[in-house]
Structure 1
Amino acid sequence: MNPSEFDFSKASVIVKTLRDYESVVAQILKESFQGIEVLAKPLNFSGLVLVKADVPVEEITREIKMRVPEAERVLPIKYYAPAEMDLIVDAVKNMAEEIRNARSFAVNTVRRGTHKYSSLDVNVRVGAAIKDLSGCPVNLDFPDKVIFVEIIGPHAYIGVVDGSEFQKKMRPPKFEIREYFKKVSLVQMPYLGSLKASYEMGVRIGREAQTFEVGELVIAPIGIIKADEIGVFLKGVFKGIESRFQVQVKSYAHKPHRTEVYVQNLYELIRERSREPIIVFEPEGEPVSSVSVKLAELAINNRRINLLVGSREGIPIGIFRFANLVVDLCPGVTIATDLAAASALIALAFAIHQKLSSDF
């Protein structure tokens, strides 16, 4: 639809989409619902489709949610206002009665275009007005209701939805597991062979270790090995760690932990750490489901936990006698070397989370 023909003040619903999927979603909406008007990428802002419908807003919102999986989020518009701070606050005041009986609320503002205020400014002004008029407490983490303010150039759209529409990645009954990985010493036998294969496997293992931000990665060979093979393997490990670490630096709110790398003979390590928890991941062990409680307790109650992961040959069976647990991650399936470390760490995360949940 030509933007000049669309009445922005009469929009009923904002549909959020994947980037570059706006036109597809707009076409699906036109084909699925009779008598509606749609505008993809309003004012050239990506990830948006505006919908104007003659039916009740709640009805078209519900139908889009039920019938269009391509719609990432569907926001029913209650009020329209020009994108000026005082006019937005005045419009929001009309919603005070809807919030009065809520357990808590938060304000979520997304601003597109150039304005004399920031999204945070809108959140503060709108939040203060609603709190004063309704008496409802603010909860920025897990609100019962969310008042949204979607600003598209000179236009502001306002509405209220359940807090579940803006779920956070970390919320009850979830528990933060990341800190427990700092206790992990991931003991990995090196993958040696052709130089190309050794390097590529090193990159993958390094990325896995850094993905979970484990405390340390110990490359643990046995006996004499070729220097060029272990050299390129270690080069790959550092490359994998660095590439993942840079992604974490850019995208994480917290400061990521860079995994330390050490090299030590496997048998020497076992002797040195005989008083620490040692967990071997090999198919000869018990299924993880039957030992998850003990696995979690070892991780939670100790300063360091050693997770041993094999390579082509696997962990030598003589070491099994010195392990607190020997765990089979997936009975009947041999896990590839480049997936073994991640599989072991995910199993540990599951065990810890299950334990924390049962104790909560």
Structure 2
Amino acid sequence: MKFIIKTERGLENIVVNHLKDLVENFNYITSPDGYQGIVIVEAEEDIRDKILQIPEVDSVLKVDYEVETDFEKIVNMAEKIKEHINENETFAVETKKRGKQDFNSVDVNIVLGAKLKDLTNAEVNLTNPDKVIYVEVFKHKTYICIGKKDEYKGKKYTKEKINARTLFKKISIVQLPYLEDIKACRKFGEAIGRSAQAFEVKELIIAPKDKVDAYELMEFIKGVKIGQISRYEIQKKAYPFEIKKVPVYVHDLYQTVRDKRRNNRLLIITDPKGEEIIKIKDKLKEDLKKKKEIVVFCGSREGIPKGVFRFADYIIDLSPHMTFATEHAIPAALIALWTVFRESFDDDYEREDDKNIDQ
């Protein structure tokens, strides 16, 4: 049996040395064709469980078929692969191509996938398939590994997971700018811009509470832009769907309160003088689910002015006896709100189960 082990670059020999302590006889190749992060192991028995005892191992694939690296020969393996797929199952083909060939990964995915569909009548499911056909292409050899759903690697985006954007797309962040120190202004601005974009909130409002130094505010906003763009560029590469930049505005704090204090809006202030979230979460989670917009006010060097407290629906102490640094306010608040919001879906599920039991 052959296995393809994937690890961090430079850890190939460490994996082999640890495997020698667990398995008596096996052959191996590290960095085949010069590609780091790969170890190909051959043993007489199934040693996947032993391989996965090594923390340096990211994932392991059992090789079901081996073929010469030639496009026609690879896609013709559909005749053998079909034996592993039932008509009532879904499948996906994932190809990892290394080196220069006269075909690309997409070619293999499309043609091999189409052949398998014709041969098995099974449906293709790229999001959450029952079986995955991993095609690992090297310079001279190609290995085909067939796994069950999530057997080898977890999925980031599945229907079983509730999309956090369900909440975050309704949240407007009102942020007091960090001012008075030019160098720090840009530094904290970057962190805030990065956080707002990371959570893909509805909007970020920079809200001074009174007259401020224009150049300090300028540096802060420059930092917000730098942080936002850096995160946005990462998101474009990491996500399999379209990402939009979070709109950023400047508005007077008190006028923002007036504008946002409307029907079907929820105003939340995070402050050490507030209530513990555990004590209000039952009511809060219902409001988070029902309200059209959730407005979260975050302080900086100074907290939100006390006069604004009268207009808030909730004043929440996220971590009693502790205060968060300016750059941590947005992530801390949004993660706390998501945790509460997520419970509302579990409650609905439980209530539906209760109905079924009663019936």
Q: Give per-residue Cα distances to partners, 1:288-343, cap 9 Å, x unaligned.
A: 23434544444443443210111223123332221111112122321111101111
SS at match of 1:330: coil
Q: Name the aligned partner's letter for residue 94 of structure 1.
A: K
Cα distance change, pair 242–114 in 1 and its aligned pair in 2 (3 A):
closer
Residue of 229, 240, 243 corresponding to 1:253: 240
Q: Give per-residue Cα distances to partners, 1:199-218, cap 9 Å, x unaligned.
A: 21122112111222222222
Distance (Å, rounded) in 2 between the aligned partners of 1:260 and 1:139: 34
**1:116 matched to which residue of 2?**
102
Distance (Å, rounded) in 2 between the aligned partners of 1:50 and 1:244: 36
Distance (Å, rounded) in 1 between the aligned partners of 2:240 and 2:110: 22
Cα distance change, pair 177–105 in 1 and its aligned pair in 2 (3 A):
same
Alignment of 1:67-106 (within 5 A): 67-100=53-86, 103-106=89-92
Cα distance change, pair 103–251 in 1 and its aligned pair in 2 (3 A):
closer
SS at match of 1:277: strand
**2:335 matched to which residue of 1?**
346
Under a length normalisation based on structure 1, what TM-score does the superposition of the two structures give?
0.86
Cα distance change, pair 324–241 in 1 and its aligned pair in 2 (3 A):
same
**2:32 matched to which residue of 1?**
42
Q: Name the aligned partner's letter for residue 323 of structure 1.
A: A
Q: Name the aligned partner's letter for residue 94 of structure 2.
A: N
Q: Is the 8 A contact 1:219 1:264 kept in 2?
A: yes
Q: Which segments of 5 or more consecutive residues in structure 2 lack a partner in the other structure?
A: 350-359
Q: Name the aligned partner's letter for residue 280 of structure 2.
A: V
Q: Give per-residue Cα distances to partners, 1:225-272, cap 9 Å, x unaligned.
A: 334433322232222223323333444333322222222332222223
The answer to whether structure 1 residue 324 and structure 2 residue 286 are counterparts is no
SS at match of 1:279: strand
> Among the aligned pairs, what percent are the same residue?
38
Cα distance change, pair 102–149 in 1 and its aligned pair in 2 (3 A):
farther
Aligned CA RMSD, in angstroms, stands at 2.5
The answer to whether structure 1 residue 14 and structure 2 residue 4 are counterparts is yes
**2:352 matched to which residue of 1?**
none
Alignment of 1:129-208 (within 5 A): 129-164=115-150, 165-178=152-165, 180-208=167-195
Cα distance change, pair 124–256 in 1 and its aligned pair in 2 (3 A):
closer
Distance (Å, rounded) in 2 between the aligned partners of 1:42 and 1:208: 40
**1:4 matched to which residue of 2?**
none
SS at match of 2:344: helix
Cα distance change, pair 193–121 in 1 and its aligned pair in 2 (3 A):
same
How far off its partner does 1:31 sit? Answer: 4.5
Distance (Å, rounded) in 2 between the aligned partners of 1:356 and 1:168: 21
Cα distance change, pair 37–211 in 1 and its aligned pair in 2 (3 A):
same
Aligned residues: 346
SS at match of 1:108: strand
Q: Is the 8 A contact 2:289 2:344 kept in 1?
A: no
How far off its partner does 1:101 sit? Answer: 7.4
Q: Name the aligned partner's letter for residue 145 of structure 2.
A: G
Under a length normalisation based on structure 2, what TM-score does the superposition of the two structures give?
0.86
